[in-house]
Structure 1
Amino acid sequence: LAQVGGGAPSTAFRKNCQLNLRVHVPGGFTYAIASVDYRGFASLQRGANGTQKASYYFQGSPDTAARSHAFNGPLEDNWQATDETDWGQLVWAPCGVERNFNINTELRVNRGSSPASSTSFMTMDSTDGDISTIYHL
């Protein structure tokens, strides 16, 4: 839950969750995340806005794929965002080494021009990932 206004602490505008996954892959194979769905609820006052962002990277690798989705108030509804990556832009697990896969998800809410006394917030309820295997012969 990220929130602003209405007496919310000044640090509540941004929340993130860092997942560190160890994925065991048989020798000779690799993987990449092609699609992830995020869902939540937003209550954004007129003039407020929110952002859902996710960054994907392998431990020790400089390659990071990041996607963000913007939401503008007024909004009082469930939201869904899908991160999809084209084949040529996928970040693949390095071959021959076992590296943890990291996913850093973030919610930000900005009060913008909405009244300071009004509360705006976003929640993230669920995340569904899809790992696809592609064979090239």
Structure 2
Amino acid sequence: MAGGLIASGAIGLLLATALPALPAQQGPSSITDPPPDRIVIDIATVNGSGCPKDTAAVAVSQDNTAFTVTYSQYVAQVGGGAPATAARRNCQLNLVVHVPHGFTYAIASADYRGYASLAPGAAGTAKASYYFQGSPQTASREHHFGGPYEDNWQATDETDWAQLVWAPCGVQRNFNINTELRVQKGTSAPASASYMTMDSTDGDISTVYHLAWRECPGT
């Protein structure tokens, strides 16, 4: 990746606080290697101005250690003739994660990447939240970028093992990912244009969610 790499913390805190701790009798047991059987992730629903129909895709790594989300039209922009509504783009993904029997998963880390072209005085924000279906709580985290900026951007964080939030064993709970990009003109010149994308402009970089695995009790 080009220079200007930006790392941002506390996605781990977000993931750790997105759900209350599972009751002991429902919680997973020991940490283990990924299951040998392939996991399958289906998109149940997709909504938002940043991910029109057929512009978001999910793929699982061969070793079951991560899955990626790729967007092809996720761009927020201001100036240059863009309508006012283009300054904010969002995407809500509802994922059905088919986990091999006897296993459960948590998000150990998340890598967000994209490209930003921000004029002097402009600003951009990337926001993300995660939660399992039925959770009464949703936590979110924002990452801020200021112009002038003309480069790839990245926000990465890891979660301590003790703070991981695990999907409940024996119960299907869809995993929801909500993301948002916002670009503000700020004090940039009236004729200037600024934009921010989720994923890089060359299409080779995806948002990556790294998985941790445990065995469920009684398996």
Answer yes or no: is 1:36 the counterpart of 2:110.
Answer: yes
Answer yes or no: is 1:21 the counterpart of 2:78.
Answer: no
How far apart, in 1, do the equivalents of 2:80 and 2:137 lie? 39
- The partner residue of 1:48 within 108, 116, 122 is 122
AA at the equivalent of 1:50: G
Answer yes or no: is 1:131 the counterpart of 2:205.
Answer: no
- The partner residue of 1:120 within 194, 211, 219 is 194
How far apart, in 2, do the equivalents of 1:83 and 1:66 lie? 13
**Greater RCO, CA 8 A, separation 6+:** 1
How far apart, in 1, do the equivalents of 2:214 and 2:118 lie? 40
Answer yes or no: is 1:69 the counterpart of 2:143.
Answer: yes
How far apart, in 2, do the equivalents of 1:91 and 1:67 lie? 16
How far apart, in 1, do the equivalents of 2:181 and 2:155 lie? 12
How far apart, in 2, do the equivalents of 1:73 and 1:58 lie? 35
Deviation at 1:77, TM superposition (A): 0.6
Deviation at 1:83, TM superposition (A): 3.6
AA at the equivalent of 1:116: P
- The partner residue of 1:101 within 163, 171, 175 is 175
Deviation at 1:67, TM superposition (A): 2.3
Paired residues, what number? 137
Q: Could you state the TM-score of these two structures normalised by the residue count of structure 2?
A: 0.57
Q: Could you state the TM-score of these two structures normalised by the residue count of structure 1?
A: 0.87
Between the aligned residues of both structures, percent identity stands at 73
Q: What SS does structure 2 have at the residue aligned with 1:11?
A: helix
Gapped runs of 5+ residues in structure 1?
A: none
Gapped runs of 5+ residues in structure 2?
A: 1-74, 200-205
Name the residue aligned to 2:66: none
Deviation at 1:26, TM superposition (A): 4.2
Cα distance 1:134–1:111, how it changes in 2: closer, same or farther (>3 A)?
Answer: same
* Higher-strand-fraction structure: 1
